[in-house]
Amino acid sequence: MLRLDQAEEAIREAVAKQQTFVVFGRCTVKYQGRSASTLADGERVLIVKQDRSVLLHRPFGYEPVNWQPPGCTIEVTASGDHLVFLAARARPHERLAVDFSDIKGVGAHRLQDEAEFSMHATEEEMKRAVLLHPQLVEEGFRPMEEERRAGASGFIDVFGVDAEGNLTIVELKRRAADRVDVHQVEGYAKKVQRELGRRVRAVIAAPSLKRTAAPLMKAHGVEFRCLTPRRCRDFLAKEQGLDKFS
C-alpha cells in the first residue's frame, strides 16, 4: 500500500508526462454535472488515459460506474488521511471527485498505439456471406436452407447442393476447426443421409484446421475449405457498398 503523498507524486508525474495511469484504492465518489450521483465507500479502479478520459470501475462488470470524456482538467491533492482526485470539464460543466482513503497501488506508462482497428465477421455474418455468395465455399454450391435441424444433434449452418447435385452440408467456424467440429459435422451428415437416403457431403469452412483434426477428417470423409471471417466481412461490405468495416 502506498502512502498518500507517494500516490499524489506518482499521479502528478503521470499527468505531467501525459501517461496512461491506473490507481487501485478505497474511495468514495461524487459527480455533479448533467445529473448528480454519489457512491459510498468501496475498493475500485481508476483509469486515466492519455487523452484525459477518465473511467472508474468497480471490481465487477465491464462498464465504468463513473466516467468523463477526453479533455478533462485533472487535479490531485493529498491532505491528512485522504487523497482527492478531481476531473472537471467547463463545457458542459462537470466535476467527478474521487476521494481515496487508502491507495494500494499506482501504475503509469506512456502507451503507443497507432494500429487500425478492424472487426471481422461473427459466425452469423459468415453464414450470411455464404448465403449471399455461395462461391465462398466452392464454385457451383447452391444453398437451400440455413439452420436445418439434424435431429437431436443440432442445426446445420448451411444445407445445399454442389455443382453436381450432391447434397452438401457446410459447418462454419470463425476459428481453427478441431476434432470436435469434425465429429459434429460428420454426425449431421449421417443424420441427413439416413433421413433422405442419399449421399451427403460434409464440409467445414474455417480459417484453418488444427493439426489433430486433419487425420480425423480424412478418415471420415469430411472436407475442409479455407474461409476467414475477414473475407466474409469484405464480401458483406461490397454487398452494402462499403469499402471496409471498422
Q: What is the mean pLDDT of the chain?
A: 92
Whole-structure pTM value: 0.55
Residues linked to residue 39 through DSSP beta bridges, in sequence order: 29
Give the confidence band of 242 by pLDDT, cuts at 50, 70, 90. Answer: very low
Q: At residue 244, does pLDDT exceed 60? A: no
Strands 73-79 and 66-68 turn out to be unpaired
Q: Please give the grid coordinates belonging to residue 15.
A: 499527468
Q: What is the pLDDT of residues 10-52, one digit of tens each?
A: 999 999 999 999 999 999 999 999 889 999 999 999 999 999 9
CA–CA separation, 61 and 65 (whole Å): 9
Give the confidence band of 243 by pLDDT, cuts at 50, 70, 90. Answer: very low
Q: In this predicted structure, what is the pLDDT of residue 74?
A: 97
User: By the 8 A CB rule, do 120 and 228 touch?
Assistant: yes
Q: In this predicted structure, what is the pLDDT of residue 117?
A: 57
Q: What is the pLDDT of residues 3-19, one digit of tens each?
A: 999 999 999 999 999 99
Give the confidence band of 116 by pLDDT, cuts at 50, 70, 90. Answer: low
Question: What's the maximum distance between 2 C-alpha atoms anywhere in the chain?
Answer: 83
Q: In this predicted structure, what is the pLDDT of residue 118?
A: 61
Q: What is the pLDDT of residues 229-239, one digit of tens each?
A: 989 988 888 76
Domains along the chain? Answer: 4-109 (2.70.180.20), 123-239 (3.40.1350.10)
Q: Determine the average pLDDT of the residues in 85-109.
A: 95
The total of other beta-carbon atoms located within 10 Å of residue 99's CB is 15
Angle formed at CA 151 by CA 146 and CA 157, multiple of 5 degrees: 20
Which residue do the cell numbers 476531473 mark?
87
Closest to 227 (Cα-Cα) out of 140, 120, 147? 120
* Residues in contact with 55: Cβ distance below 8 Å, sequence separation at least 6, in sequence order: 46, 47, 48, 49, 64, 66, 67
SS3 39: strand
Q: At residue 104, does pLDDT exceed 70? A: yes
Give the confidence band of 246 by pLDDT, cuts at 50, 70, 90. Answer: very low
Q: At residue 119, does pLDDT exceed 80? A: no
Residue 112, judged by CB atoms within 10 A of its CB (0-12, 13-18, 19+), counts as exposed
CA–CA separation, 218 and 151 (whole Å): 25
Closest to 137 (Cα-Cα) out of 166, 165, 164, 171? 171
